[in-house]
Amino acid sequence: MKILFLSDFVPDPKLILNRSFIALLNDADKIVFNLEGSPLTGSDLDNRSQIMPINCDELIAFLEAFGKERFVIALANNHILDNGSVGLEFLIQQLKEYNVPFFGTKEKPFIIIEEEVVILNFVTAETVAKYAGKDHLNYLFYNTKQIREQIIEIEQLPNKPILYPHWGRDMDTTVFKTYNLGFDKNRWFVFGHHPHVISGVGDRVIYSMGNTFIPHPYYYKNYPSVRYGLAIMYDSDTETYSKLLTKVITSDNYVKNFELTCEDFEKIPTEVLDNEKHFSSLKRVFLNLFAFDGTLIDFFRLSALQMISGAFRLKIKYMKKKGYE
């Protein structure tokens, strides 16, 4: 069985799929991606201040176009609750109605595919996922006890295990070894996401697969590194995988035109290696201040990061509210 692992991905009507990427989708038996965005209900319950809104009807239409029975959706990420629990619950209702499997929730942290492969998904605090997300998602703040218990449970199964975590910091190639998860590194594969830039590419562990596509034009215009991602084609029969390079290209400087392409992976693109050249001085100070070293002080750093993130969200909400009035 061939399982295609994409990174952070939101199907969007503005996105054109190049023939090379369509061929990649068609070549897979199963397709796993992290749905990083905020699902809308299409009602007055929706929060109007959304960074990356997801139209659930458009999502289902995309899945049906390529065979919804082949998709498996990971939900543990830092934007899935931007529209509140009502948005997540509506999305889950839609996925259940159309028989699209999903995982990464508090009730369903991992999923077994075709009795062959088991995939574990969780989101960590340094992604600035809301702490309240622990009530809905498979969430790791600092204490790894819960995730370790899940790993132990999975390692007792006969299935081939894959870790698919949403971790690390946005726009940062630093590989943090904050969490000692205690899994058998000779048995597990790790395909991580969230930083939106490719980093930490090893034999069995890829810390960040970079970015597949999110509807966030500002990123593409200002940070060339996020235009790239890794697509992983995993073969469960041989327990090996191949890497392919995805890229978002444009004909109008990433205003309305986005095209997702795919080619063989040879090396990490120069734009990714030069990622930090595009950072402001404030961004550099922030990244140094909130480094993570796997020590107890990380608990306080994560707590502070959560408070800063909460204040930032309130500020955006206030500004947008003022703009609507």
State the average pLDDT for the chain: 92
- Assess whether pLDDT exceeds 50 at residue 325: no
Q: What is the pTM of this model?
A: 0.93
Q: Could you read off the pLDDT of 66-125 as tens digits, one per residue?
A: 999 999 999 999 999 999 999 999 999 999 999 999 999 999 999 999 999 999 999 999
User: Between these two residues, 306 and 197, which has the higher pLDDT value?
Assistant: 197
Between CA 292 and CA 300 the distance in angstroms is 11
In words, the CATH class of domain 2-279 is alpha beta
Which amino acid, 140?
A: L
Give the C-alpha distances (Å, rounded to integers) separating 52 from 14, 21, 55, 181, 286. 13, 22, 10, 30, 23
pLDDT of residue 3: 98
**Angle between the N-to-C axes of helices 84-97 and 56-65, in degrees from 0 to 180, rounded to the nearest 10:** 30
Q: How far is CA 10 from the centre of its chain?
A: 10
Nearest to 163 by CA among 142, 178, 135, 182: 182
Report whether pLDDT(323) > 60: no
Q: Does position 321 have pLDDT exceeding 80, yes or no?
A: no
* pLDDT band at residue 316 under the 50/70/90 scheme: low
Q: Compute the residue count for the chain.
A: 325
**pLDDT (tens digit per residue) in 204-214:** 999 999 999 99
Residue 159 backbone phi and psi in degrees, to 5? -80, 160
